[in-house]
Structure 1
Amino acid sequence: MKILAIADEESRYLWDFYEKEKLEGIDLILSAGDLSPDYLSFLVTMSSAPVLYVHGNHDDKYKYKPPEGCICIEDDIYVYQGVRIMGLGGSMRYHAGEHQYTDAQMNKRVRKMRWKLFRHRGFDILLTHAPAYEINDGRDLPHQGFRIFVKLMEKYSPKFFIHGHVHMSYGRQHKRYDKYHETNIINAYERCIFEYEADENTLRENLR
C-alpha cells in the first residue's frame, strides 16, 4: 500500500503544479493537520484514494468548513484494507484555543479509547499532529511532544507513527525519518510518500 502523508504546508508540487500522474498509485492519504480544508478536498477529488485527517492546532476553521469528502479519525481507530489507523490530533496547550491539550488531557483522550484499542487489538499506524516527547520534538512548549505517544509506541508497537507540527523549515534540523523501538516515525511536513507492506510491514528504502 502506497501512502501519501501530508502536514503543515500545502505542497505547491501537488496543488499549484498539479498533474494527475503525481497522485497515480497512491492508495491512501493521511493528513497530520494544519492544512487548508480546500487543499484536502482537492486531493480527495483528484485522486482515487481516501483522505483521513486529524486536526492541527491551527485547524479551528474545520469546525465551520470541514474538508469535503474527507474522513476525520480523531479519537478513533479507522481500518482501511486491514490497516488499523489511530487518530489523535492537536498540540501541547500553550494558550487558550481549540485542539490544544495538556499532557493530562491527552492521556484522558487515550484512556477513553481503551475499548477501541481492545476491540481492534491495537493499531498499525498512529496519526497525530504533534510529535512524541523528546523524539524529534521542540523544547519550547508549543512544539513539545506528548509523553503518552511514547507509551503507545512502547505498548502497541505500531509499524508507523506519522506526525507533523515541527516544520522541517525551522532552524532546528528536524528529521524526516526516525525510529523508536519497532516503530518507524515519519515527519509528514509538506509531503512524504512511504510504502506500507501489508505482509512484511517494513519501510522501503525509497522513503521520500
Structure 2
Amino acid sequence: MKILCVADEKDPLVYSSHVVERYGDVDMVISAGDLPLKYYEFIVSSLNRPFYFIFGNHHVEDLPKFTKRFGLEDAYDLRFERSRMGWGVGGDFIDGLALRDPASGLLLAGLGGSMRYNHGEHQYTELEMYLRVFKLLPKLFYNRIRYGRYLDILITHAPPRGLGDREDLCHTGFKAFLWFMRKFKPRYLLHGHIHLFDLNSPRVMHYCETEIVNIFGSFLLEKD
C-alpha cells in the first residue's frame, strides 16, 4: 500500500500538472495540516483517492467549517451544510476522531493543533491534549474488540515530546503522544509542524512499536 502524506508547505512535485504521473498509484492521501483547502482540492480532484486530514496551527480560518460550531445537531447535518456551502474538499476531517478506512481496512485517528504558545486557534496545553486523547478511548477499545488492534495510523500536527520537536514552546511536542504510543501501539505516527529545511535531517524515528514520520512537504509512505 502507498500513502501520499503532505503537511506544512506545498510541494511543487505534488502541486504539478504531473501529479497523476508521479502519484497516480497511491491508495490514500493523508495531511497533517497547515495547508490551504485549495491545495487539498487539487490533490483530491487529481488523484481521486481517499483523503484524511487534520488542521495544524496555521491556515485555521476554515477550521469552524469542519467543527460543530454552527449549532448543528449531528454529523450528518454538518456534512450536509459543508456540501451546501461548497466547503467540502472531497475527504474526511478526522481531527479528534477515529475511524476505519473502508477500502483498506486501516484504522486511523487524528489529533491536530500545536502546543499553546499565544492563545491562538487550535492550540492546546499538555493537559488539554491528554483530554483530547481520552475522548478517543471508546473508539480505540471498540477497534481492539472488533479488529484485534487499537489503531494503525495516528495523524498529529505536532510531534511527540523529545522526538523530532524543537526547544521553543510553539514547536514543543506533546507527552500525551508518548503515552498514546506506549498504550495503543499504532504502527505509524505521522506528523508535520517541524520544517525540514535541511534535506539531511532525519524524517523517521521509532518509539516502542511505532514508527514516527515527519511528513513535512510530502512523503510517500509504503507499507506492507
- Residue 147 of structure 2 corresponds to none
Q: Which residue type is aligned with residue 126 of structure 2? A: D
CA distance in structure 1 between the aligned counterparts of 2:166 and 2:210, rounded to whole angstroms? 20
Q: Secondary structure at the match of 1:60?
A: coil
Is 2:85 the partner of 1:71? Answer: no
Q: What are the residue-to-residue correspondences of 1:33-182 with 2, within 5 Å?
A: 33-63=33-63, 66=87, 68-80=89-101, 81-121=104-144, 122-169=150-197, 174-182=201-209
Give the deviation of 1:67 after TM superposition.
Answer: 5.2
Give the deviation of 1:137 after TM superposition.
Answer: 0.4
CA distance in structure 2 between the aligned counterparts of 1:73 and 1:108, rounded to whole angstroms? 16
Deviations 1:81-109 (A, max 9, x none): 21101100000000121110000000111
| Structure showing the higher helix proportion among its residues | 2
Q: Secondary structure at the match of 2:61?
A: helix
Q: Secondary structure at the match of 2:22?
A: helix
Is 2:3 the partner of 1:3? Answer: yes
CA distance in structure 2 between the aligned counterparts of 1:62 and 1:39, rounded to whole angstroms? 13
CA contact (8 A) 1:38 1:67 kept: no
Aligned alpha-carbon RMSD (Å): 1.7
CA contact (8 A) 1:40 1:67 kept: no
Give the one of 183, 186, 194 matched to 2:213: 186
CA distance in structure 2 between the aligned counterparts of 1:191 and 1:156, rounded to whole angstroms? 26
Cα 1:31/1:126, change in 2 over 3 Å = same
Give the deviation of 1:179 after TM superposition.
Answer: 1.0
Contiguous gaps of at least 5 residues in structure 1: 198-208
Q: Secondary structure at the match of 2:29?
A: strand
Q: Which residue type is aligned with residue 140 of structure 1? A: D
CA distance in structure 2 between the aligned counterparts of 1:78 and 1:22, rounded to whole angstroms? 28
Contiguous gaps of at least 5 residues in structure 2: 66-86, 145-149
CA distance in structure 2 between the aligned counterparts of 1:170 and 1:62, rounded to whole angstroms? 30
CA distance in structure 1 between the aligned counterparts of 2:48 and 2:17, rounded to whole angstroms? 18
Q: Which residue type is aligned with residue 69 of structure 1? A: G
